[in-house]
Structure 1
Amino acid sequence: MEAAILKQWSDGQHEEAVQALVDYLKKTPADIEAYVTLATFLTTLQDFEQAEVLLQKALTKFPDQPALSYALGTLYYQAESYQQAEAIFMELVKNSQSVDAQYMLAQTYHQMEQNPRALVFALTAQEQQPQELDTNILVGNILISLGDFDQAQSYLKKALKINAQNGEALFKYGLTQLVLDQPSATYFERAKKVAPDYFEKNKQQLMDIEGFMQAKDHQ
């Protein structure tokens, strides 16, 4: 695939990059990577319908390409079609034991609020890639959803060792500190500084937990 197309995309010329990639695929219809990239472009632009059509056509031509299936599963996940995403990622896990598919299946179950199931696949992915930031954060998030703040803290601590400036890891570690009655303010301050948008989006969770803790103290 031509580097010029990727540069167009990175420079913000999104429509031009999409059109250039469409033209490229007309001339080079067997380039699997190009289908995945085009689907990623369309998904990023939230043109889920066109991305789905593209990937379904590609899978008809190349049915044994896990990269295309993974891209379709990711598309369904981004479009919040979690049951369709689950079916694809589960098939990939069965066939290839792909760590990426394990991670996305865990994410999908987490979004479906099937957290015990999510934890099984997240832990499997974390055991295979213990130094992967996102996987440690995901395990922490799932354990928080299950109310196991002590265990969640251990995985979030690993995440902070990998990247001490990750806003989500700082925020979620702060939550575990708060619930476990340990100093937490510093973590929230750092999270707000390095990831203000993330902090604003998630501060309701902090307020809910603070309210719960205050109510518990007054019992």
Structure 2
Amino acid sequence: MKERELQKQQAQENIKCLIAEVDANPYDEHAYYNLGAYLTKLKSYPQAEELFKRALNVFEKQPQRQDILHYGLGNVYYASELYAEAIQEFQVVKDDQLKGDAFLMMAQAYYAQSDYQKALAFAMTASDQLTDQTPAATLMGNIFVALGDFTHAQEYFLQVVNQHGDDLEALFGLGLVDLAQGKDDNQYFIKVKQLDPAFYQKKEAKLADIERFLQMQAQKDQIK
């Protein structure tokens, strides 16, 4: 049996188990969340959305138990690139254990919409609330790159790399900073290529964006 067929079969078995968990615990919000999150991972977005909405109705009179479901539904919308809808769901989350993650997802949603100031504000708030600050720091680095502030971008990417030396996103970000600063020997890009060539290839479009940005800045400087 081919690997893809085996993976599909395993996914179907996992779904059956998660559905059985919901059936056995129809008033456990975490059972719904686990199933919905798995469907989201499989990119079965319509099914995941329907499940989370149904689960929200189950706990209609218990709003404190809806938080994890709003968070799950927000992730469905985010993965579907429905960023405004995702933000609406994340805004509803009040649970202290989920708030930091919800703020981070809101920051990512605003970043995806190129609303960098709001993205930065929510990323900073998330960083204050999350135990692991790596995702927020990486996002802030990317936001500062988008804003053309490479000094602050470097600061946040270095925070990540100092703790996680092989973090691909932060290493690539530092490569972008070196590119912006005109450094020829870009060791960060070399390291990313060595660690994960496929990741580097996916990110190459960002290189073109930075090069266009630098060309525009150079043209502005010439006009001055």
Tell me the residue number matched to 2:114.
113
Counterpart contact for 1:130–1:136, Cα < 8 Å: no
Q: For 1:37-186, list aligned pairs within 5 A.
A: 37-63=34-60, 64=63, 65=65, 66-92=67-93, 98-129=99-130, 131-182=132-183, 185-186=186-187
Mapped to 2, the partners of 1:140 and 1:130 lie a distance apart of 18
Larger deviation: 179-188 or 141-150?
179-188
TM-score, L = length of structure 1? 0.86
Mapped to 2, the partners of 1:199 and 1:12 lie a distance apart of 31
Check 1:77–1:86 CA distance in 2 against 1; reply closer, same or farther (3 A cut): same
CA-CA distance at 1:209 after TM superposition: 3.0
Identity %: 34
Q: Which runs of 5+ in 2 are unaligned?
A: 1-6
Counterpart contact for 1:166–1:194, Cα < 8 Å: no
Counterpart contact for 2:70–2:92, Cα < 8 Å: no
Counterpart contact for 1:150–1:180, Cα < 8 Å: no
CA-CA distance at 1:126 after TM superposition: 1.8
Question: Letter of the aligned partner of 2:136 in structure 1?
Answer: T
Mapped to 1, the partners of 2:44 and 2:132 lie a distance apart of 33
CA-CA distance at 1:72 after TM superposition: 0.7
- Figure out how many residues of one structure are paired with residues of the other and give that number: 210
CA-CA distance at 1:207 after TM superposition: 3.7
Mapped to 2, the partners of 1:84 and 1:163 lie a distance apart of 33
Q: CA RMSD in A?
A: 2.5
* Residue from 12, 30, 33 that aligns with 2:30: 33
Tell me the residue number matched to 2:4.
none
Q: Deviations over 1:27-84 (max 9, x none)?
A: 2212221111100111111111111111111111113221111011111101111111
Larger deviation: 68-77 or 207-216?
207-216
Tell me the residue number matched to 1:18.
15
Mapped to 2, the partners of 1:109 and 1:212 lie a distance apart of 20
Q: Deviations over 1:109-130 (max 9, x none)?
A: 0011111111100011123347
Counterpart contact for 1:156–1:173, Cα < 8 Å: yes
Mapped to 2, the partners of 1:41 and 1:22 lie a distance apart of 11
Q: Which runs of 5+ in 1 are unaligned?
A: 1-9
Mapped to 2, the partners of 1:211 and 1:71 lie a distance apart of 37
